[in-house]
Chains A and B, each alone.
Chain A
């Protein structure tokens, strides 16, 4: 099979699904479509055993706090590890089981609350950590079983609805059942982890996040990663794969489809509950709203970005999205991120592709020209204060930042840039290139003037955009495998 096109039926378009193909063929077909130069490198990369990658990764992460002593950065790192764990768990349900679970965050919350109830002054119970963590994991698994039960009768979309309701239900219960869950006040003063022998791991020294928790989280991450990988490589994993590709055929072959689904739910829930204990122990408190829709979408973005079905992929997704969200909190850093990403992305794509390089160059020139014209017309149009720091000053020469923008400018510019971007996707050829130039410039204008003024919704807009663009352009994410659905 030396030719580059896959055998079998051809679909209508080059990007369409290879109907009648299975996953293995599709994957190998994709590999062969890579440029020949890269193939030996990729072979070598693929030959490195997975545990070596894991060791390398964890080692680098462990060294990280030594390099960066700031408590804030460590906490973000800790949060990232939590997200990696959550992504791994969601990967089991969505990536391996193929079940769209929109209530996943409820298990995270159940784990956190269960630990809070077992180890805090709320009920006066203070179980040793080595007891409470397994108990919470079991509770999580049981909850996963309970939520998985409807999956016996319901498929795809209905299951998604029911799981979403479960999340809403969790929110309602934790907010209103004040006697048990503390209601909106949450549960405070939760015990930190304790090593066997009684010594408690302090969560903070002088108010600053303690690095020991990062190591604990990493240790748990390693255990979970390895355990899940072993699970996936076993009979269960193979059964899950067949369930995901074609549930009807799997059932016809005598697989216990219902139990498999339950197992997927339970495993994912157990991982989420475990992560919940980490969350509760470090922050020392739990609140209902910490486990709601926003967290759900964040985890989904990580899983989709990294590639659902691929453990390394979802970890990578978490590694990218979590710090990204933190960086976007700060206007100055967001500006740097945006322009570096824009400039870097165009430069990278343009080094081989002349059209893109020309568009990039044209945009640069266009920007300076428009800036000069605007300044000539009215100085106040470009006199706005973009922000502090040298980078901001540099950017200010290119982007228009009006001093007192009229109120209608923000909505009009925002809608305008979206409409322009969408228009560009519909056009083709030289017209598209010409249209892209003002679109990019308008995009920079909108970022600078509209989105940086309110970083919080801007962060989530970026998240939503990532989801949409990913699904449309590359649904298998960074490292995932292209799924085909047997029609």
Chain B
């Protein structure tokens, strides 16, 4: 039972990060119908930005401000850097391709992803960066927490899950209760009609990228709070975020949130429980299992769990 609780908590933590990344993909796909391959690398830049700010604030052992403020500042800084990066990418790599065949911005995105990952490698080297919050007061963020059954849910995980939840609520609010959010939804529904209704498409798209990339930055910090980061994580993180968005239904915001959590739980349970003599072991082959689930899903319900089926007008 203890293992189940532990795995569930793990799944929730993982899933929150995946959900934040998936939201960024879904938002951009909704308005641009573009799969932003560079998103994972924006996430990676966020982890590094957060690391830099953490060092500026005195490092994990002796921060100059209270730890909760450190985490908030680091998150905000990463969000800001990523938002700026996202806007720059959109402005220079995607906007000129707004009217080109669909394949063009996709390939441009591949190029941006490659460019970002290797630029960070060039500038900051391959050494992993560890926020190392274990150093704070002898590891209290890891050791103190909520007690459920026989398991302690550490403060750090609670922070991650809560922060992701808060951000998702803010996002929901922005998308559903503000005018710009309404414009975003209109644009994702039908771009030309929205333009004809007087919505400034360029501004909406920039706003979308700001939102999506900021979420990636926040996801980066949430991720890096617990595990070391390095310049190569962008590809895998992006892939996982992709899978999450697709499971939930790309283009659907609740879908991205659900997809992220589902993926987190899937991975966690598969790694923890799947273990038998004649089947591939869960810890080694979790990728295989997840992909199998995904491909089956794609073949039978390709719009994902909560997505809209594609209706193409002739």
The answer to whether A binds B is yes
Measured between alpha carbons, how far is A162 from B298 in the docked complex, in Å? 8
Q: Tell me, yes or no, whether B271 is within 8 Å of chain A by CB.
A: no
- Which residue of chain B lies nearest to A473 when distances are taken between CB atoms in the complex? B96
Contact B243 A471 (CB under 8 A): no
A residues 455-481 near B (Cβ < 8 Å) are: 457-458, 460-461, 463-468, 471-472, 475
CA distance A370 to B111 in the complex (A): 34
Q: Which of A130-138, A152-160, A221-229, A319-327 contacts B (4 or more CB under 8 A)?
A: A152-160
Chain A residues contacting B108 (CB-CB under 8 Å) are 467-468, 471-472
A451, B122: Cβ atoms under 8 Å?
Answer: yes
> B123 to A172, Cβ gap below 8 A?
no
Does B35 lie within 8 Å of A157, measured CB to CB?
Answer: yes
In whole angstroms, how far apart are the Cα atoms of A304 and B110 in the complex? 12
Contact present for A150 and B299 (CB under 8 Å): yes
Report how far A387 CA is from B298 CA in the complex, Å. Answer: 54
Asked if A150 and B35 make an inter-chain contact with CB atoms under 8 angstroms apart, the answer reads no
Query: Which residues B225-265 have CB closer than 8 A to chain A?
Result: 235, 239, 242-243, 246, 250
Interface residues on A, range: 35 or more
B236 to chain A, nearest CB (A): 9
A414 adjacent to chain B (CB < 8 Å): yes
Of A150, A248, A458, A485, which contacts B298 at CB under 8 A?
Answer: A150
A462 CB to nearest chain B CB (Å): 9
> Which A residues are in CB contact (< 8 Å) with B35?
157, 160-161
A121 contacts the other chain (CB 8 A): no
Cβ of A457: which chain B residues have Cβ within 8 Å of it?
A: 118-119, 121-122
Q: Which residues of B contact A300 (CB under 8 A)?
A: 107, 110
What are the interface flags for A307-329 relative to B under an 8 Å C-beta threshold, 1 for contact and 0 otherwise? Answer: 00000000000000000000000
| Interchain CB contact (< 8 A) of A422 among B88, B122, B242, B250 | B88
Q: List residues 1-21 of chain B with CB under 8 A from any CB of chain A.
A: none
Tell yes or no: B100 within 8 A of A by CB.
yes
Q: Report the stretch among B59-67, B165-173, B207-215, B282-290 that lies at the interface.
A: B282-290
Check if A168 is an interface residue, CB within 8 A of chain B: yes
Among A160, A301, A414, chain B packs the most CB atoms within 10 A around the CB of: A160
Residues of chain A contacted by B235 (CB below 8 angstroms): 293
With A150-B295, A168-B287, A425-B92 in contact, do A468 and B100 touch (Cβ < 8 Å)?
no
Say whether chain B's binding surface is mostly helix, strand, loop, or mixed: helix
Cβ-based interface call for A356 (8 A): no
A457-B121, A461-B119 known; A472-B285 Cβ under 8 A: no
Once the chains bind, are B96 and A461 in contact (CB under 8 Å)? no
Known contacts A157-B102, A460-B114, A485-B102; decide if A467 and B285 are in contact (CB<8 Å).
Answer: no
> Is the pair A411, B239 in contact by a Cβ cutoff of 8 Å?
no
CA distance A86 to B285 in the complex (A): 29
A154 to B97, CA, bound (A): 23
Among A16, A160, A176, A464, which residue has its beta carbon within 8 angstroms of that of B284?
A176
Is there contact, CB below 8 Å, between B33 and A172?
A: no
By a CB distance below 8 angstroms, the chain B residues around A465 are 111, 115
* B312 CB contacts on chain A under 8 angstroms: 248
CA distance A127 to B136 in the complex (A): 62
Q: CA of A460 to CA of B112 in the docked complex: distance in angstroms?
A: 11
Asked if B294 is at the interface (CB within 8 A of a chain A CB), the reply is: yes
A475–B291 touching, CB < 8 Å: no
**Chain A proximity of B219: nearest CB distance (Å):** 19
Closest chain B residue, CB of each to CB of A468: B111
CB distance from B269 to the nearest CB of A (A): 18
Bound complex: CA A467 to CA B104 (Å): 10
Indicate if B273 sits at the interface (CB-CB under 8 A).
Answer: no
Residues A471 and B104 in contact, CB atoms below 8 Å apart: yes
Distance of A179 from chain B, by nearest CB (Å): 12
- Give the CA-CA distance A318 to B239 in the complex, in Å: 28
Tell me whether A297 is interfacial, beta carbon within 8 Å.
Answer: yes
Q: B314 interface residue, CB < 8 Å from A?
A: yes
Task: Provide the residues of chain B in CB contact with A410, threshold 8 Å.
Answer: 123
A153-B299, A457-B119 given; A168·B239 CB < 8 A: yes
Interface string of A417-456 (1 = CB under 8 A from B): 0000010010000000000000000000000001100100
Q: B288 → chain A, closest Cβ, in Å?
A: 6
Smallest distance from the beta carbon of B151 to chain A beta carbons, Å?
30
The answer to whether the Cβ of A64 comes within 8 Å of any Cβ in the partner chain is: no
* Complex CA distance for A464 and B101, rounded to whole angstroms: 20
CB contacts under 8 Å to A, within B86-116, are 88, 91-93, 96-97, 99-108, 110-116
Q: Is the CB of A471 within 8 A of B107?
A: yes
Known: A248-B312, A465-B111. A471 touches B284 (CB 8 A): no
A454 and B99 contact, CB distance less than 8 A: no
B302 within 8 Å of A by Cβ?
A: yes
Q: Are B106 and A157 in contact (CB under 8 A)?
A: yes
The complex places the Cα of A164 from the Cα of B291 at a distance, in Å, of 11
Residues of A within 8 A of B288 (CB): 169, 172-173
A contact residues around B104 at 8 Å (CB): 471, 475
Q: Using Cβ atoms and an 8 Å threshold, which residues of chain B touch A472?
A: 92-93, 96-97, 108
CB distance B107 to A168 under 8 Å? no
Contact A297 B110 (CB under 8 A): yes
Inter-chain contacts of A172 with B (CB < 8 A): 285, 287-288, 291
Contacts of A280 in B (CB 8 A): none
Residue A384 interfacial (CB < 8 Å): no
Please name 14 pairs of A and B residues whose Cβ atoms are closer than 8 Å in the assembled complex, sorted by A: A155-B310, A157-B106, A158-B298, A168-B291, A169-B287, A173-B288, A293-B235, A411-B123, A454-B121, A460-B114, A460-B118, A466-B111, A467-B107, A471-B105
B positions within 8 Å CB-CB of A = 29, 33, 35, 88, 91-93, 96-97, 99-108, 110-116, 118-119, 121-124, 235, 239, 242-243, 246, 250, 280, 284-285, 287-288, 291, 294-295, 298-299, 302, 310, 312, 314
Binding site for B on A (CB under 8 A): 16-17, 94, 98, 100, 150, 153-158, 160-162, 164-165, 168-169, 172-173, 176, 248, 293, 297, 300-301, 304, 410-411, 414, 422, 425, 450-451, 454, 457-458, 460-461, 463-468, 471-472, 475, 483-485
